[in-house]
Amino acid sequence: MAEKVLLKGNELLVEAAIEAGCRFFAGYPITPQNEVPETMSWRMPQAGGVFIQAESEIAAINMLFGASAAGARCMTSSSSPGISLKQEGISYITAAELPCLIVNMQRGGPGLGNIRAAQGDYFQAVKGGGHGDYRLIVLVPGTLPELYQLTMNAFDYADFYRNPVLILGDGILGQMAEPVELTPYEPILDLPPKDYVLDGCKGRPPRVVKTLYLHPTDSLVQHNLHLQEKYARIRRELNLYEEYETEDAELIVSAYGVPGRIAKGAVKMARREGIRAGLIRPLCVWPFPAAPFRKAAQTAGRFLVVEMSFGQYVEDVKLAIECRRPVAFLGKGGGWYPSQEEILEEIRRLSSKAQDPASVKGSV
Amino acid sequence: MNSPSETKIIIAGFGGQGIVLVGNLIARGALMEGKNVTGMVAYGAEMRGGTAYATVVVSDEEIACPFVEHPDAAIVLNRPSLEKFEPSVLSGGLVLANTSLVKRDLQRSDVSLIQVAATEIARELGNLKVANMVALGAFIQHAKLLRADSIERAIGDLFSAKNPKFLPLNLAALKAGMERSRFVGPAVGGRRS
């Protein structure tokens, strides 16, 4: 095994992107992701790529439209308020079906909020945020080895499906350091040739990259149906999650990102106390990995959802199990996080109730 | 402590005292010994002269939570950091105090104390900036968490790459801290042994 390096998440992200062949970065500073543009500013020139500190977040995302249309592997990063600014551009990029990577190291909101970690941008990430019927592939690493791997994979997903990928992290994922082995990039998909890029049409018919569909009248309908087919295919093919001790679990705990790893610790503690708890920790939240939830709902009596927001991710868990089991909720927001002990306390409370069938009735 | 093999550490002091470097070196030392480790630095509006702190979690098992609310050990290089973090240390845990700047005994009787006059020793060595390395030496000597040679290697790696001329001074400071520090057990009957 190669030697592990100790880097902050934000720095590691840069190494993964460059290793995966990303050669264009545009961004604008905002805490807690400032190490991304900072590191990019010297690493990208070393790799022969382009680093641009844009005049705004809006400019940066639109530069990605251009870079991607020209065929470059490209990315931008920001944190919550900056990602809000990018939404128009993200909608355009999805309409034009251009691959790119967008990273959101979420901070406390709404508004300018604070600079602590949060997960309040979940709805924005998975339900839209920009206008129109579009979807982003949304990856949610919880550890730094996962951040390294998923960042490299993100470029493959983006190119394979011709769709932007969003890494939905949080301030802690960006700021924490954890040892990671910097494995070489290996494409995980058989990538199609980029037969859409605008690289000069000498000797071939011209190509058009556009997002305006006025003629014929139903051309936008056709374009949307094409996009929906693609999204359906992604739903069928992409399914990333970790399952832990779910087999015999009476209570399923679920969380993503950094709370996901904290919840795993709480589940381990609960198991040591003899409580049959299990964990489902998604690594992508669009498409939502519904299968393990549906399967667990057949045997587990109840669910507990933990997130660093006040009830967003929990909705997708309820949808995944079609509300067939009671779903308890532990949410922290405004830049606060749930501790292992708090989650354990909730597990204990729910499991003792679960042992008493009378109390389960009507407790939804 | 969430599992017997996990140690949570807070390092705190004035901005400029090299708090982040101490956290970084403990994390790198742990990495060299094949342990799991996470590290974080408070990233608010930190500045020279303000308070700064870093946290490290070292474990033989997978680390669930990178946050440190209740440390097993608090390394405090100034008085305000002792006020802030002494109450949060786990019972049976450890406080390392830079006695040059922390002029009071602990209020807690259920934790051990490592005393080291880090700032004075650093001044004797000719550079106040290595007070952090003196404190780190004292911590390594008494906390029995990591081997001295791991930390020495971590210092070597870090300084050889960036500032090789400061390497001998930092190693000397580490050694001085190991030799010129005192471990005091928890207070029994109101008195420290």
- Per-residue H/E/C for A78-140: ECHHHHHHCHHHHHHHHHCCCCCEEEEEEECCCCCCCCCECCCCHHHHHCCCCCCCCCCEEEC
Q: Is the pLDDT of residue B1 over 50?
A: no
Within a domain: B193:
no
Residue A233 contacts by C-beta under 8 Å, 6 or more apart in sequence? A161
Distances in Å between the alpha carbon of A194 and those of A26, A39, A191, A208?
21, 29, 9, 13
Q: Which of A176, A262, A269 has the CB atom closest to B39's CB atom?
A: A176
Confidence band (pLDDT; 50, 70, 90) for B4? low
Spatial distance between the Cα atoms of A154 and A150, rounded to a whole number of angstroms: 6
CATH topology of domain A244-360: Rossmann fold (3.40.50)
B99-121 in b/e form (b: 16+ CB < 10 A) is: bbbbeeebebeebbbbbbbbbbb
pLDDT digits (tens, 9 = 90+) for A92-103: 999 999 999 999
Q: What is the total residue count of chain A?
A: 364
Residue B191's φ and ψ, nearest 5 degrees, are: -120, 140
The predicted complex's ipTM stands at 0.92
Spatial distance between the Cα atoms of A29 and A10, rounded to a whole number of angstroms: 12
More confident of the two residues B150 and B2: B150
Contact B64 A261 (CB under 8 A): yes
CB A82 within 8 A of CB A102: no
* Encoded tokens for A141: 């690493």
Within a domain: B144:
yes
pLDDT digits (tens, 9 = 90+) for A21-38: 999 999 999 999 999 999
Within a domain: B99:
yes
Interface check B47 vs A, CB under 8 A: no
Q: Where are the alpha helices (DSSP H) in chain B?
A: 19-32, 79-85, 118-125, 131-143, 148-162, 167-179
pLDDT of residue A363: 38
Q: Where are the alpha helices (DSSP H) in chain A?
A: 9-19, 35-46, 57-69, 80-85, 87-95, 122-126, 144-161, 171-175, 219-237, 257-272, 290-299, 313-320, 340-354, 357-360
Q: What is the total residue count of chain B?
A: 193
pLDDT digits (tens, 9 = 90+) for A156-198: 999 999 999 999 999 999 999 999 999 999 999 999 999 999 9
* Encoded tokens for A189: 């998909």
CB A294 within 8 A of CB A321: yes
pLDDT digits (tens, 9 = 90+) for B16-30: 899 999 999 999 999
CA distance B38 to chain A (A): 5
pLDDT of residue A1: 56
- Above pLDDT 70, what percent of chain B? 92
B46: domain CATH number?
3.40.920.10
CATH topology of domain A4-184+224-237: Rossmann fold (3.40.50)
CA distance B107 to chain A (A): 26
User: Which residue, A211, A230, A209, is CA-closest to A220?
Assistant: A211
pLDDT digits (tens, 9 = 90+) for A305-328: 999 999 999 999 999 999 999 999
CB A254 within 8 A of CB A293: yes
User: Which residue, A103, A151, A306, A182, is CA-closest to B65?
Assistant: A306
Contact A269 B27 (CB under 8 A): no
pLDDT of residue B189: 60
CA distance A315 to chain B (A): 25
Confidence band (pLDDT; 50, 70, 90) for A249? very high
* Encoded tokens for B18: 């090299």
Within a domain: B192:
no
pLDDT digits (tens, 9 = 90+) for B23-53: 999 999 999 999 999 999 987 666 666 788 9
Q: Is the pLDDT of residue A132 over 60?
A: yes
Spatial distance between the Cα atoms of A63 and A159, rounded to a whole number of angstroms: 17
- Beta bridge partners, B95, equal B74, B113
User: Which residue, B90, B99, B94, is CA-closest to B73?
Assistant: B94
pLDDT of residue B161: 85
Residue A204 contacts by C-beta under 8 Å, 6 or more apart in sequence? none
pLDDT of residue A360: 43
* Residues of the domain holding B33: 6-186
Interface check B35 vs A, CB under 8 A: no
- Above pLDDT 90, what percent of chain A? 95
pLDDT of residue A355: 55
pLDDT of residue B192: 62
pLDDT of residue B2: 47
Peptide linkage before A45 cis (omega within 30 of 0): no
Spatial distance between the Cα atoms of B118 and B173, rounded to a whole number of angstroms: 9
B35-65 in b/e form (b: 16+ CB < 10 A) is: bbbbbbbbbeeeeeeebbbbbbbbbeeebbb
Distances in Å between the alpha carbon of A138 and those of A23, A187, B36, B85, B153?
21, 19, 28, 38, 40
Average pLDDT of A209-236?
A: 97
Q: Which of A4, A258, A337 has the CB atom closest to B31's CB atom?
A: A4
Q: Which of B36, B38, B69 has the CB atom closest to A177's CB atom?
A: B38
pLDDT of residue B155: 96
More confident of the two residues B188 and B177: B177
Within a domain: B108:
yes
Which of A34, A176, A332, A336 would you mutate first to test chain B, the one with the most B CBs within 10 A?
A176
R_g of chain B computed on alpha carbons:
15
Which of B8, B24, B38 would you mutate first to test chain A, the one with the most A CBs within 10 A?
B38
pLDDT digits (tens, 9 = 90+) for A41-79: 999 999 999 999 999 999 999 999 999 999 999 999 999
User: Which residue, A315, A336, A253, is CA-closest to A123?
Assistant: A315
pLDDT of residue B191: 60
Within a domain: B111:
yes
pLDDT digits (tens, 9 = 90+) for A277-306: 999 999 999 999 999 999 999 999 999 999
pLDDT of residue A361: 42
CA distance A116 to chain B (A): 8
Domain ranges of chain A: 4-184+224-237, 244-360
Average pLDDT of A108-117?
A: 95
Hey, do A4-184+224-237 and A244-360 end up sharing a CATH topology, with the first three levels equal? yes
In a 3-state reduction of DSSP, which class is residue A179?
strand
What residues of B are in contact with residue A31 (Cβ under 8 Å)? 43
Q: Is the pLDDT of residue B77 over 70?
A: yes
Within a domain: B1:
no
* Encoded tokens for A233: 């295919």
Please count the structural domains in chain B. Answer: 1
pLDDT of residue B42: 85
pLDDT of residue B5: 85
Confidence band (pLDDT; 50, 70, 90) for B187? confident
CB B25 within 8 A of CB B155: yes
Taking all residues of chain B, what is their mean pLDDT, rounded to a whole number? 92
